[in-house]
Amino acid sequence: MPKLSIVVPCYNEQESIPLFYPAVEKVVNKMPVEVEYWFVNDGSADKTLDELRKLHQQNPDKVHYVSFSRNFGKEAGLYAGLEATTGDYVVVMDVDLQDPPEYLPIMYKYISTGEYDCVGMRRTDRTGEAKFKSFLSDKFYDVINKVSDTKIVNGARDYRMMTRQMVNAVLSLKEYNRFSKGIFNWVGFKTKYLPYKNVRRIAGTTDWSTWKLFKYAVDGITDFSEAPLSIATWIGGMSAFLSILGLIFVIVRRIIEPSSSAFGWASMVCIMLLLGGLQLMCIGIVGKYIGKIYMQTKQRPIYIVKEKK
């Protein structure tokens, strides 16, 4: 019987775990697979680890967990979970039941035919989410798909089932700044997307504020595209070009009408401030990339394990 590994990153999810496990068990018990769970406790401050220990004691062969020494972020959790799996197929799920387990048999049906390497879930709406947040999300997908060669499907969640071959490919990318949505697409392979309606969190609260999502979006774009660097070059080129035109205008005017002298220091100050601002912005863009190079060259581990069972 093929083995299905379920990877579940958890951060402060003490209320969700006791609901998640039976809900998933109910579904996978009817599937023709052997199942293993790999929960990742991402440095939770609540009783998440205790819940995981309890589950492991009840099902020592089936339920496993990796517990980090501190919070390393969901991306690191995913990496650790995927690394630990041994199954022929691996599925990544959130613990808050926003990734409905009912879809597992359908995903499995598609992937077990051998036609697809990956089956992902794509939500078709964002009910229960703030309008402004949804608007920003939509814009993010527009931008990243324009500037990056790696296409990212709008609404695609991290809820996806992959073959062992694809998991190994994902693990072979050892980059420190991990943007899974991009990585899953970057490795290629044939993916089938199944649409579904958004589901609200079963318990707890989301950890993603609009500001955190914005930073995540900027990281996604800079991880998968060099477009911001080109934009900086273009802005510089354009303003240099415009100032040459301005210079020619001033010289010609001086020749035609020698009495006209320089005037308008207020506009001069504005132009200087504008150029200064643009320069700082471009340095900031370059700095963002240098920062990423810096973090990568340190070769720090993606996560640190405190306990693994």
Least CB distance to ligand UDP at residue 222 (A):
20
Cα Rg of the chain (Å, integer): 25
Where do runs of H (alpha helix) occur along the chain?
17-28, 48-58, 74-84, 104-112, 131-147, 164-171, 180-186, 210-224, 227-256, 265-297
Residue 74 binding result from Mg ion, ligand UDP, none, given CB thresholds of 5 to 8 Å by partner type: ligand UDP
User: Could you say whether residue 81 binds ligand UDP (CB under 6 A)?
Assistant: no
Taking CB under 6 A as the rule, which mask of x and - marks residues 19-58 in contact with ligand UDP?
-----------------------x----------------
Least CB distance to ligand UDP at residue 281 (A):
29
Region 156-195 residues binding ligand UDP, contact defined as CB under 6 A:
none
Partners of residue 191 on adjacent β-strands? 118
**CA–CA distances in Å: residue 131 to residues 135, 194, 200:** 6, 24, 15
Neighbours of 92 (CB within 10 A): 27
Nearest CA to 162 out of 72, 239, 109, 90 is that of: 90
Least CB distance to Mg ion at residue 204 (A):
9
Asked if residue 302 lies in contact with residue 178, where contact means CB atoms within 8 angstroms, the answer is yes
Give the distance, in angstroms, between the CA of residue 254 and the centroid of all CA atoms in the same chain.
56
Asked if residue 148 lies in contact with residue 129, where contact means CB atoms within 8 angstroms, the answer is no
Closer CB to ligand UDP, 74 or 178, in the complex: 74
Candidates 201-209, 238-246, 266-274, 292-300 — which segment interacts with ligand UDP by CB under 6 A? 201-209
User: Could you say whether residue 94 binds Mg ion (CB under 5 A)?
Assistant: yes
Closer CB to Mg ion, 127 or 165, in the complex: 127
**CA–CA distances in Å: residue 58 to residues 61, 64, 263:** 9, 11, 83
User: Could you say whether residue 96 binds Mg ion (CB under 5 A)?
Assistant: yes
Least CB distance to ligand UDP at residue 239 (A):
39
Closer CB to ligand UDP, 130 or 173, in the complex: 130
User: Could you say whether residue 74 binds ligand UDP (CB under 6 A)?
Assistant: yes
Q: Which of 97-136 are b and which e, b meaning 16 or more Cβ less than 10 Å from the residue's Cβ?
A: bbbbbebbeebbeebbeeebbbbbbebeeeeeeeeeeeee
Size of site (CB under 6 A) for ligand UDP: 16
Q: What is the distance between the alpha carbons of residues 295 and 101, in angstroms, rounded to a whole number?
A: 37
Closer CB to ligand UDP, 102 or 226, in the complex: 102
User: Could you say whether residue 223 binds ligand UDP (CB under 6 A)?
Assistant: no
Closer CB to ligand UDP, 129 or 175, in the complex: 129
Residue 73 binding result from ligand UDP, Mg ion, none, given CB thresholds of 5 to 8 Å by partner type: ligand UDP
At 230, list the tokens.
């080109």
| Contacting positions for ligand UDP (CB under 6 A) | 9-11, 13, 42, 71, 73-74, 77, 94-96, 98, 206-208
| Contacting positions for Mg ion (CB under 5 A) | 94, 96, 98
